[in-house]
Amino acid sequence: MPELPEVETVARGLQKSVAGRRIVSVRMGKTDFIDDPVAVEQHVPGRQIEKVERYGKFMLLRLSARENSAGSSENGDSEAASLLVHLGMTGQLAPFAAAQPSAKHTHVWFGLDDGRELRYTDPRRFGRMAYLTGALLAEELMAFGADPLLVSAEEFASRIRSRNAQIKALLLDQSVLRGVGNIYADESLWRAKIHPARRGTELSKKQVLALRRVLQDVLRKAILARGSSISDFLDAEGQPGEYQRHHRAYGREGKRCYRCRTAIQRVIVAGRSSYFCPKCQPAPHSRKQRKRRKQVRNG
């Protein structure tokens, strides 16, 4: 499940292995995950991959302007462009020797000027690929929230505490924070001792700042471990990550909490499996309970 650390790992790998190469050809199989496959076929060949970076859970392949292209001033080919790639659940983007047989479910082959092929493989096709330039690209990127590794304490607190939604939903919402998915949401909530169903508005400033701190710590450590591999994830060198060994909550239903030995529970919050420790991460009070407490307080 590629989230921020996994995508960062792939982007860094591709930056090393394919940045500077020119794409000379494009071949496609199934294209239902590509915004405009014809645009990719028509405008990508001839461009150099200048840089590979991460934006939330997207990879951004920054492409040079096209050289010596007839009519390039009219069709935008004299401008820089970007290929936006989302790995979805099972996407992989990695270079191979052209002679090597393609893995099953390979859907896009970018021929490179050194003879290799950059291949996109995705069994479930939950990923996304889009060719974008200028204003369209800017508009696309604008819709996303703050990068969790760069966001200031003030901005993080305001983005979370101004919303009444469940904290798990807020962490997963890419327009609030870009890059956090189910694994790192649960891992950071466990570390911050916050129940996934708590509301953004009910969290104290202190709790929210602690959440930001542990979220950043988890993400940084996961990047150092080259991400988490649960079932599918492989980086651009075909290697699995190691961070799954450090998970404290995610996937640990029925196993003991590392802090208090209580059995980790799984519940559905915001439509997603959510793993948490019922003792360390106390559930929010129901409406009924709040009312009862109020009555007791008022005698």
Partner DNA sequence: CTCGATCCCTGGACGC
Partner DNA sequence: TGCGTCCAGGGATCGA
Q: Which of 273, 282, 289, 290 binds DNA (CB under 7 A)?
A: 273
Q: Which of 97, 101, 231, 288 binds DNA (CB under 7 A)?
A: 231
Q: Does 104 participate in binding DNA (rule CB under 7 A)? A: yes
CB 52 within 8 A of CB 61: yes
Q: How far is the CB of 163 from DNA (least distance, A)?
A: 4
Q: Does 272 participate in binding DNA (rule CB under 7 A)? A: yes
Start-end of H helices in 106-204: 134-142, 153-161, 167-172, 182-192
CB 116 within 8 A of CB 98: yes
CB 253 within 8 A of CB 275: yes
Q: Does 158 participate in binding DNA (rule CB under 7 A)? A: no
**Contact track, DNA, 122-151, x by CB under 7 A:** -xxxx-------------------------
Q: Does 102 participate in binding DNA (rule CB under 7 A)? A: no
Q: Which of 9, 166, 228, 281 binds DNA (CB under 7 A)?
A: 166
Q: Which is nearer to DNA, 114 or 202 (CB)?
A: 202
Q: Does 89 participate in binding DNA (rule CB under 7 A)? A: yes
Q: Does 157 participate in binding DNA (rule CB under 7 A)? A: no
Q: Is 272 an active-site residue?
A: yes
CB 65 within 8 A of CB 79: yes
Q: Which of 181, 196, 227, 241 binds DNA (CB under 7 A)?
A: 181
CB 174 within 8 A of CB 241: no
Q: Which is nearer to DNA, 125 or 213 (CB)?
A: 125
Q: Does 284 participate in binding DNA (rule CB under 7 A)? A: no
Cα distance between the two ends of the chain: 51
Q: Catalytic: which of 272, 278, 279, 284?
A: 272
Q: Is 3 an active-site residue?
A: yes
Q: Which is nearer to DNA, 77 or 233 (CB)?
A: 233
Q: Catalytic: which of 5, 6, 54, 57?
A: 57
CB 51 within 8 A of CB 21: no
Instruction: Report long-range pairs for 73-80 (Cβ below 8 Å, ≥24 apart).
Output: 75/43, 76/43, 76/133, 76/134, 77/43, 77/46, 79/133, 79/134, 80/50, 80/133
Rg of the chain (C-alpha set) = 22
Q: Is 57 an active-site residue?
A: yes
Sign of CA dihedral 207, 200, 6, 246: positive
Spatial CB neighbours of 286, under 8 Å, sequence gap ≥ 6: none
Total number of residues shown for the chain: 299
Size, binding site for DNA by CB under 7 A: 32
Catalytic residues: 2-3, 57, 272
Residues in contact with DNA by the rule CB under 7 A:
1, 3, 32, 56-57, 86, 88-90, 104-105, 123-126, 163-166, 169, 172, 174, 181-183, 199-200, 231, 270-273
